């Protein structure tokens, strides 16, 4: 039980991941799919940031003249990559919402089945 409590953040990330994936796959409303995609992306980002955490670690900024144990420092690569993923996620969300606005303007609905039926009729 102690291991479960110490790793509760990973369980929560898995729940968010599953919720986002379910919303993307099972919902017919495009807006709900977009929100599911954002939840999915956030869970992956939180997971990678948690994986990069190192208890008792310092930031990796040390003058070259110091001989210091490298194991005392956190690896900055996962955090830097997730900053990039956040920017990509926000831009993806913006493009998806603008496309959703165009779909609603053209078809007067944001339900996937209705849009597909209207497209087949054209």
Domain that holds residue 97: 2-54+73-121
Tell me which of 1 and 114 has the higher pLDDT.
114
- The sign of the torsion formed by the CA atoms of 63, 67, 68, 71 equals positive
Residue 62 forms part of a structural domain: no
Mean pLDDT of all residues in 104-116: 96
Residue 65 forms part of a structural domain: no
In tens, the pLDDT along 60-108 reads 776 666 677 767 788 888 889 999 999 999 999 999 999 999 999 999 9
Residue 68 forms part of a structural domain: no
In tens, the pLDDT along 20-70 reads 999 999 999 999 999 999 999 999 999 998 888 778 887 777 666 667 776
Number of domains in the chain: 1
Residue 59 forms part of a structural domain: no
Domain of 16, CATH number, reads 1.10.287.3510
pTM: 0.83
End-to-end Cα spacing for the chain: 59
């Amino acid at each position: 039980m102690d291991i479960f409590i110490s790793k509760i953040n990973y369980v929560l990330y898995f729940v968010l991941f599953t919720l986002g994936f379910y919303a993307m796959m099972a919902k017919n409303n495009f807006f709900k799919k977009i929100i599911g995609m954002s939840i999915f992306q956030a869970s992956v980002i939180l997971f990678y940031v948690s994986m990069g955490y190192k208890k008792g670690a310092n930031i990796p900024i040390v003058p070259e003249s110091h001989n210091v144990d490298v194991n005392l420092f956190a690896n900055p690569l996962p955090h830097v990559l997730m900053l990039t993923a956040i920017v990509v996620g926000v831009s993806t969300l913006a493009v998806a919402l603008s496309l959703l606005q165009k779909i609603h303007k053209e078809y007067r609905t944001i339900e996937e089945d209705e849009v597909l039926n209207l497209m087949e009729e054209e």
